[in-house]
Amino acid sequence: MTAAVRCDGVVQIYKTRDLEIVALRDVDLVIAQGETVALLGPSGAGKSTLMWLMAGLLRPSAGRLRINGTDVSRLSPGALDRMRAADIGVVLQNPGRNLIPYATAAQNVAFAQRAARTDRRRAAALLDRVGLGGMRRRAGAMSGGEQQRLAVAVALANAPRLLLADEPTSQLDDDSGRAVIGLIEQAAEENGTTVVVVTHDAAVSRALGRTITIRDGKVGAEGRHGEEFVVVGREGGVQLPPEFHELLPPGSMARVEALPDGVALRRAES
C-alpha cells in the first residue's frame, strides 16, 4: 500500500539577508496510511517546515517527498493546489489564521469546499460533529477553543486523506485542547485519515499513536505506544535523548560494542 507520506533525504534551506539557514537536513521518514503521528521537538528544530512541505506549500530544496505516492516536486502549481484542495487538510497554530473572521462557521466550511466540491450536507454534519451545529456568531467572535474546533471542521471539509495540524492546542486551555485532539482522533478512526500533528505538548503526543522527534533538522527519535526509540540516521548517526546526556555527555568519546540485537556504547575514560 502506498505510504501517506514518504520523505527521502529531504533538505530544506531558507535564505535570509545574510545567512542561509538549513531547516531540514536529510530527513528520511515514512508515514503509513491511517497512522496518527505527533511531530515533537524544540522550537526552531524544523517541525513546522516539515509540515509545510507535507502540505505542498513549499518545495524541498533537495531530496524527494511523496504524498500519497505522488512526487510533490514534479507537480505544477495548479496540480499542487488541486492536491491541497482534495487530499490535504491543514490546521494552523493560531486559531484566527485558519478562518475568515467575518464569516460564519458555515461560510468558513463552504469556503474550504470551494476548490473541490460543495457538499452542504457534509458541511452541516461536520459542524454538528465538532459541536458547532447551532453557531450563529461570526468566526472572529468565537472563543479560541471554538475557533480551533471550527478549524478542524474546515480542514476536514473535503474529506482529505491527510490531515496536518501545527500546534493546534498551544493557544488553548486544557479542555478545549482535549476536545480538539479528540476530534482529530475521531477523524482518523472513522475515515482512516492519516494525521500528522506538530506539537510540543506531551499530552497531545500521548494521545496519538506514534511520535517522531525532530532535533536540529533531523529525525532524532521515534516513539511508538509510549516507548521511545532513537532513529539511526542516514550516515549511521544517532541522537542521544537528553536524559542520557549525563551518562554519556555530548562531546565525549565512547566505544562501540557489538551486541546480538544492536550495539552498546561505553564511555571511554581518558
Partner 1 sequence: MSARSRGLTLRGLWERRGLSLAVLVVTVVSVATSALGPIFAEAAGTALVRGVLNQAAPEGRGWRITARDADVSPLADRFRSGAAFLGTPVNGAELPGRDPRGGVVRPVIYQDDVCAHLVLVKGRCPANGGEVIASQASRLDAGKVVRVAGLAVAPAPGEVIAARAELAPLRVVGVYRPRDINDPYWFGGNLFAQTAGSSESKADPLFTVEETRRATQATVQWTHWSIVSIDPTKITAADLPRLEELTAAAPRLGLAQAPVITLSRVPDTMLEVRAQTGTLGVPALLVIAQLVALGWLLLYLTVSDLVAARAPEIALARLRGQGRLRVWRFALAEPVLLLALALAAGLALGMRLAQVVAAALLPGQVALALPPAGVLAGAAVPLGGLVAAVIAARGMAVRPVTEEWRRTPRRRARGWVIDAIVLSLTALGLVELLAAGVITQTSGQTSAALAVPGLLALGVALLACRVVPFLAGRLFRASRRAGGIGAFLALRQIARGRATAGSLIVLCTAFGMAVFATAAWDVTSANFERVARVHNGAAGVLELRAGSVAELRAAVEAADPGGRHAAPVIVMPGPPKMIATDPARFAHVADWAAARPGTDAARLTAGLAGPPGTPRLMVRGERIRLRIGPVKVPDKWEPTLFADFRVPGSTLVKSIPLGPIGPATMEWGLPPECRAATCELRALRAEVTVLDEVTTNASMFADVKRIEVRTGGRWREIDAGLTDRARWSGTASAGEDGLSLMIPLFGGAKAVPATFPRHLPALVNGPIDGELTPGLDQNFAAGHAVLGERAPLPGLSEPGAIVDLELADRAALGIAPEARFEVWVAAGRLEQVAAALKAQGHPVSPARTPDQLVSRYTTQGPGLALALMLAAALAAGALALGRAVLALYGAARRRGYELAALAATGAKPGELRAALLLEQLITLAAGTLNGAGAGLLAARVALPRVPEFATAPSTPPLLYEPSLGPVALVAGAALVVAFAAVALTAEALLRGIRADRLRQAQP
Partner 2 sequence: MSEPALSCQSLTCEAGGREIFRDLSLEFRAGERVAVMGPSGSGKTTLLTTLAGLGPPASGQVLVGGVPLARDPSLRSQVALVFQSYGLLTLLTAAENVEVALRAAGRTGAEAMAAAVGPLARLGLAGHADHLIEELSGGQQQRVAVARALTLGPRVLLADEPTAEQDAGHREIVLTELLAVADRGGALVIATHDDEVAARCDRVVELRPAVRGAVGAR
Q: Which residue has the cell 470551494?
A: 114
Q: Three cell numbers at 108?
A: 468558513
Q: Tell me, residue by residue from 115 to 144, as one string, x for binding to partner 2 by CB under 8 A and - for no binding.
A: ----------------------------xx
Binding residue for partner 1, selected from 55, 67, 126, 163, defined by CB under 8 A = 55
Backbone angles phi, psi at 111, to 5 degrees: -60, -40
- Cα–Cα distance measured from residue 186 to residue 189, given in angstroms and rounded to the nearest whole number: 5
For 113, half-sphere exposure in the C-beta direction (CA atoms, 13 angstrom radius) is 20
We find the least distance from the C-beta atom of residue 139 to partner 2, in angstroms, to be: 15
Q: Which is nearer to partner 1, 17 or 225 (CB)?
A: 17
Which amino acid appears at position 237 of this protein? G
**Residue 200 in 3-state DSSP?**
coil
Backbone angles phi, psi at 188, to 5 degrees: -60, -45
Backbone angles phi, psi at 144, to 5 degrees: -60, -45
We find the least distance from the C-beta atom of residue 240 to partner 1, in angstroms, to be: 31
Is 220 a binding residue for partner 2 by CB under 8 A? The answer is no
Q: Which is nearer to partner 1, 115 or 203 (CB)?
A: 115
**Residue 87 in 3-state DSSP?**
helix
Q: Three cell numbers at 175?
A: 479542555
The end-to-end CA distance of the chain, in Å, is 51
Binding residue for partner 2, selected from 12, 48, 147, 176, defined by CB under 8 A = 176
Are the CB atoms for 262 and 232 separated by under 8 Å? no
We find the least distance from the C-beta atom of residue 46 to partner 2, in angstroms, to be: 10
Binding residue for partner 1, selected from 92, 172, 181, 195, defined by CB under 8 A = 92
Q: Which does 92 bind (CB under 5 to 8 A by kind): partner 1, partner 2, none?
A: partner 1
Binding residue for partner 1, selected from 21, 62, 115, 202, defined by CB under 8 A = 115
Is 221 a binding residue for partner 2 by CB under 8 A? The answer is no
Is 191 a binding residue for partner 1 by CB under 8 A? The answer is no
Pairing of the two strands 162-166 and 62-67: unpaired
Q: Which residues bind partner 2 (CB under 8 A)?
A: 16-17, 19, 21, 42-44, 143-144, 169-174, 176-177, 200-201, 203, 216, 242
Q: Which residues bind partner 1 (CB under 8 A)?
A: 16-17, 52, 55, 57-58, 77-78, 81-86, 88, 90, 92, 94, 96-103, 107, 110-112, 114-116, 138, 154, 171
